[in-house]
């Protein structure tokens, strides 16, 4: 499958933090023909093994996405919700949402709310229920919902929700397809609960016990008007080799090997330094006695909004880099 087809398939599934079963089932279906062993651990991480000789290399991308969880159902039929991960009420305002059971709604600020200082408890979800009794037949407290926004492609640019981190999951699946014989013992791990504290990567890396760990995720850019310089990357400039973010300072040997691999294969790369925000690399690095850790990132605009935007050519460069790295 092409990257965009995999991305479309993954985004049609349900998978907010803590409720990743739907996306895990789809990834397992797509990965099984190419892996030697596929395991789901206790926390819900999906681990795909491909046997080889040499060090144990772990590539990780998180399956989970930001979302909402219902906390109250009001007598008028409106829902109050808590956040799963770093979701902003202003960025989510008036977005369509969908629940796991197919119920759809819209996330709405109260009319009296100050939009400039909008808080989550000043917002509600409208599922079209006439009253609380009807609403309770459709959803329950504890149910989760996600953005219900389609993916749009224009040229090589793709826009939609949950490129963080479904696009990186698609990159790992395409990489798995292309690997003939790894020059290492390879574990691809699709982690859970990254958005709420890197939880899945912490338990998965303890179980896998890698020699080298590489987190694959999106990263912030420095190519839009009024950029606050949180990131260093640009759309269309290639795969981004992570140097550091707020969760990790990458091992210099891993950074050097990734850049050498890119140069040897003529793969476009750029450096990724992220001043705020982290990835699964932070949890992988601190496992057991420590892991040589790096990151391969996909530049992405408007992260954690319903209109995340990336370049499929950058994602393809990440596929080429990861495939070359594990086969060297």
* Tens-digit pLDDT profile for residues 236-258: 999 999 999 999 999 999 999 99
From its phi and psi, is residue 288 left (phi > 0), alpha (psi between -120 and 50) or beta? left
Whether 164 and 304 have beta carbons less than 8 Å apart is answered as yes
Q: How many residues does the chain have?
A: 328
Nearest of 23, 36, 321, 12 to residue 187 by alpha carbon = 36
- Would you name the residues annotated as active-site residues? 194
**Tokens standing for residue 287:** 């496992």
* 78-104 mean pLDDT: 95
pLDDT-derived band of residue 86, with 50, 70 and 90 as boundaries? very high
pTM of the model: 0.95
CB neighbours of 15 closer than 8 A, spacing ≥ 6?
A: 21, 22, 23, 24, 63, 64, 65, 146
Is the pLDDT score of 269 beyond 90?
yes
- Residue 230 pLDDT > 90: no
Q: What is the band of 315 on the pLDDT scale with cuts at 50, 70, 90?
A: very high
> Residue 53 pLDDT > 90, yes or no?
no
The confidence band for 105, taking pLDDT boundaries of 50, 70 and 90, is very high
Closest by CA position to 269, among listed 280, 261, 279: 261
Give the pLDDT band of residue 116 (cuts 50, 70, 90): confident
Q: State the pLDDT at residue 114.
A: 87
Axis crossing angle, helix 312-327 with helix 163-178, rounded to the nearest 10 = 40
Per residue, the 3-state secondary structure of the chain, as one string, reads CCHHHHHHHHHCCCCECCCCHHHHHHHHHHHHHHCCEEEECCCCCEEEEECCCCCEEEEEEECCECEEEEEEECCCCCEEEEEECCCCHHHHCCCEEEECCCCEEEEEECCCCCHHHCCHHHEEEECCCCCHHHHHHHCCCCCEEEECCCCEEECCEEEECCHHHHHHHHHHHHHHHHCCCCCCEEEEEEECCCCCCCHHHHHHHHHHCCCEEEEEEEECECCCCCCCCCCCECCCCCEEEEEECCCCECCHHHHHHHHHHHHHHCCCEEEEECCCCCCCHHHHHCCCCCCEEEEEEEEEECCCCCCEEEEHHHHHHHHHHHHHHHHC
Pick 276 or 257 by higher pLDDT.
257
Which pLDDT value is given to residue 328? 81
If pLDDT is split at 50, 70 and 90, which confidence band does 181 have?
A: confident
pLDDT in tens, 192-217: 999 999 999 999 999 999 999 999 99
């Amino acid at each position: 499958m092409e990257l965009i087809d995999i991305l479309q398939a993954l985004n049609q599934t349900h998978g907010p933090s803590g409720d990743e079963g739907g996306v895990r089932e789809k990834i397992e279906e797509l990965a099984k023909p190419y892996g030697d062993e596929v395991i789901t651990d206790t926390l819900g991480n999906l681990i795909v093994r491909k046997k080889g000789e040499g060090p144990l290399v772990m590539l990780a991308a998180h399956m989970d996405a930001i979302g909402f969880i219902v906390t109250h159902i009001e007598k008028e039929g409106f829902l109050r919700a808590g956040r799963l991960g770093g979701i902003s009420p202003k960025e989510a305002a008036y977005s369509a949402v969908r629940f796991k059971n197919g119920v759809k709604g819209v996330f709405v600020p109260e009319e009296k709310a100050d939009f400039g200082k909008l808080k989550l408890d000043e917002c509600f979800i409208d599922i079209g229920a006439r009253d609380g009794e009807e609403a309770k037949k459709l959803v329950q407290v504890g149910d989760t919902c996600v953005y219900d926004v389609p993916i749009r492609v224009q040229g090589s640019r793709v826009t939609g929700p949950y490129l963080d981190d479904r696009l990186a999951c698609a990159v790992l699946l395409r990489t798995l397809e292309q690997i003939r014989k790894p020059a290492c013992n390879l574990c691809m791990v699709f982690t859970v609960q990254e958005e709420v504290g890197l939880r899945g990567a912490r338990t998965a890396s303890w179980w896998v016990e890698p020699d080298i760990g590489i987190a694959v995720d999106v990263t912030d850019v420095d190519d839009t008007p009024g950029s606050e310089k949180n990131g260093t990357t640009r759309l269309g400039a290639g795969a981004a080799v992570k140097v550091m973010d707020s969760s990790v300072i990458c091992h210099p040997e891993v950074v050097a090997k990734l850049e050498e691999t890119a140069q040897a294969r003529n793969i476009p790369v750029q450096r990724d330094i992220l001043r705020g925000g982290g990835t699964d690399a932070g949890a992988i690095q601190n496992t057991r006695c420590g892991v040589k850790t790096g990151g391969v990132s996909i530049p992405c605009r408007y992260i954690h909004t319903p209109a995340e935007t990336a370049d499929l050519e950058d994602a393809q460069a990440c596929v080429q880099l990861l495939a070359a790295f594990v086969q060297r």
